[in-house]
Structure 1
């Protein structure tokens, strides 16, 4: 009755996060926008947009544009894929098109025929902690060494 075990369908979701499921045999044409998690096992032609996670099942197909925070793809995708955090391609995945990701994980066997651009997600907190050589003040010992040369 009372258990600490999490349901496999809701593992990894924020408490109260809504789930959207497109089952196998379902064909949707158009634009879909939601704040919740997506599980796609059917066919979607159009645009899918969420600030959450998208799971594309082994039999799932998306043709169009997909924008999300994280994606776990085992099915087929053809179009523009924008994943701000982690894109995971399972061994059965087939990707074609243009891909922009923060991080990429590819299992052996996945087909990845796309142009890929990796761009880290820049949250205000990350921007504050990132520094480049140009942002750092020079040490006096470095300046002195340069003057000797």
Structure 2
């Protein structure tokens, strides 16, 4: 499975040893090698390095995960979990690839058809929001 990367220049780097608390919204390509305690949102692609840890939701065009995400992953194009990746949360995308030894615990919606993807992801998000409100 090939993953398209439109722009290979990285706009934002969160380096190893960095720790961020709070939500992050950036434009363009992001590489994370540090820790984030909050949501990460971009209109571009994200690479999450092997030593990165994110406790929050991740939203991008395409996401490659080598580290740990405790939260939901939303990628309009694709999600790839490398062999050392761990995702504890749900994945919503058009295409998903999970390498051997990667850990994934959650629900996954991966639908190629645009209309079906839009319908299913909308239903899933509504269902999740209702469950969260009911838990309060």
Select the residue among 14, 20, 23 that pairs with 2:7.
14
Larger radius of gyration: 1
Matches for 1:49-64 after TM superposition, within 5 Å: 49-64=41-56
User: Normalising by structure 1, what TM-score?
Assistant: 0.69
Give the match's secondary structure for 2:22. strand
Could you tell me which runs of 5 or more consecutive residues in structure 2 were left unpaired when the two chains were aligned.
116-136
CA distance in 2 between partners of 1:54 and 1:18 (Å): 9
Find out whether 1:110 has 2:69 as its counterpart: no
The answer to whether the Cα contact below 8 Å between 2:10 and 2:31 also exists between their aligned partners in 1 is no
CA RMSD of aligned residues (A): 1.8
Ranges in structure 1 where 5+ consecutive residues have no aligned partner: 1-11, 124-149
Asked if the contact 1:93/1:110 (under 8 Å) is kept, the reply is yes
Residues in 2 aligned to 1:38 and 1:73: alpha-carbon distance in whole angstroms: 12
How many Å apart are 1:47 and its aligned residue? 1.1
1:11-70 per-residue CA deviation (whole Å, 9 max, x = no partner) reads x4528x551001111110111111111100000011111111000000001111110000
What secondary structure sits across from 1:36 in the alignment? coil
Q: Please give the residue correspondences for 1:75-90 in structure 2 after superposition, counting only pairs within 5 Å.
A: 75-90=67-82
1:48 paired with 2:40, answer yes
* Contact 2:91/2:108, CA 8 A, preserved across alignment: yes
Q: Which runs of 4+ in 1 moved over 6 A?
A: none
Is residue 7–residue 29 contact of structure 2 (8 Å, CA) maintained in 1? no
Deviations along 1:81-126, whole A, 9 cap, x unmatched? Answer: 1011110110000110121111001111111111111244739xxx
Number of aligned residue pairs: give it: 111
SS in 1 for 2:114: coil
